[in-house]
Structure 1
Amino acid sequence: MKRLVILLSALFIATTTFSQAKKDGVHIYNPQANAKADIEAAVAKAAKENKHVLVQVGGNWCTWCIAFHNLVDSTATLKKYINDNFETVLVNYSPENKNESVLAGLGYPQRFGFPVFLVLDGKGKVLHIENSSYLETEEVGANGKKKVGHDVKKITAFLKGWTTTAVNPETYKPKAK
């Protein structure tokens, strides 16, 4: 009986330690960051480079936020497309810092859950707020259940619709022959 209690205690401690280490090991979002200053800097840079700003709001507690970040980081074509067309800003939303005043100024995007994406122009105007659930994969796994994660094609289509070229009316004028 003593062995069983010791074994279960050791297993509990190891599991708790591993879970905590895993959670503490994620540092994608910075709760101490000045979101307003980060957004202003990205907007200024985007204006100079004829780009838009892609704001991702989420937190280190959010498995979907981490999964999205990892998907972008591990998909070279998606990462390049984002870097070529957008300045990016990660805005933290967590118990340590909900960035409530910044998010209020952006139209309360947290109403859609996390992660949530915003596209800002080179003046800081919100052009679009994207609910990330629309970007989820429809793939079904071998177990017959829907896979968890986002779809690269859906993400790319969303982003293509919000580049500076896509929203520029001149893009759609007939070309002289």
Structure 2
Amino acid sequence: MKNISKNLAILSFLSVGSLVFAQNTKVSPEAKNPDSKALIVKTDHQELEAKKKAAEEKAKLPKPYDAKADAEKDIENLVAKAKKEKKNIMIQAGGNWCIWCLRFNQYVQTTPELKKLVDDNYLYYHLNYSPDNKNEKVFTKYGNPGDQFGYPVFIVLDQNGKMIHVQKSDVLEEGKGYSLEKVKEFFKTWTKKS
């Protein structure tokens, strides 16, 4: 009986002590929901994994942007050529740092239907925007569409070099890539009208 009384006294003390401790202790949201830390760690891990996969993908894709190019001169030359060939000019503005820019280029180059549509109807130019060369003068001439729409952004010029359309790229996307029908329609819409 003595042991039972002693044990009850200890239990009572522990219960009161736990209650006082619990009342004076702030419980973090993570402690209330132990799964939340796991979720944060899992989310961070997923984000790191996604960045790693994107970097691996980017490393494999062709890099069509040239930071050393004289874009102003290149576009002047394209306008002269466009007049002779009676084609419009498609400028894809972006940079080799931009995975969506590289994906679009790869998509067009590896989709025969799109490649033929572009080759038959446009002179195509990759206008670089990067820390090495922001091509500020050229971008200013076209209203700095990257500031408004992000990259890639498309600037369509007629055969005389007049800007006739600016296209943001997100409307051409579908899922984790680009829509064949949307891209095809975009290219068809801005071909030179006879």
TM-score by length of structure 2 reads: 0.67
1:95 aligns with 2:123: no
Aligned match of 1:67: 103
Aligned match of 1:149: 177
Between the two proteins, the alignment pairs up a number of residues equal to 140
- Structure 2 residue runs of 5 or longer lacking an equivalent are 1-51
Aligned match of 1:52: 88
Distance 2:61 2:188 in 1: 33
Query: Helix, strand or coil: the match of 2:89?
Result: strand
Distance 1:48 1:90 in 2: 21
- Structure 1 residue runs of 5 or longer lacking an equivalent are 1-15, 138-146, 169-177
Contact between 1:59 and 1:93, CA under 8 Å: does it hold in 2? yes
Deviation of the 1:106 alpha carbon: 1.1
1:30 aligns with 2:58: no
Return the letter of the residue paired with 1:81: L
Contact between 2:63 and 2:102, CA under 8 Å: does it hold in 1? no
Q: Which has the larger radius of gyration?
A: 2
Residue of structure 2 aligned with 1:125, choices 162, 173, 176: 162
Aligned match of 2:116: 80
Note the alpha carbon deviations across 1:64-102, whole angstroms, 9 max, x for none. 001001101110110010010000111000111111110
Query: Helix, strand or coil: the match of 1:128?
Result: strand
Superposed CA RMSD = 2.0
Aligned match of 1:106: 142
Deviation of the 1:24 alpha carbon: 9.5
Return the letter of the residue paired with 1:160: K
Distance 1:26 1:160 in 2: 25
Distance 1:40 1:123 in 2: 10
Aligned match of 1:161: 189
Runs of 4+ that moved beyond 6 A: none
Contact between 1:23 and 1:61, CA under 8 Å: does it hold in 2? no
Contact between 1:53 and 1:89, CA under 8 Å: does it hold in 2? yes
Return the letter of the residue paired with 2:189: G
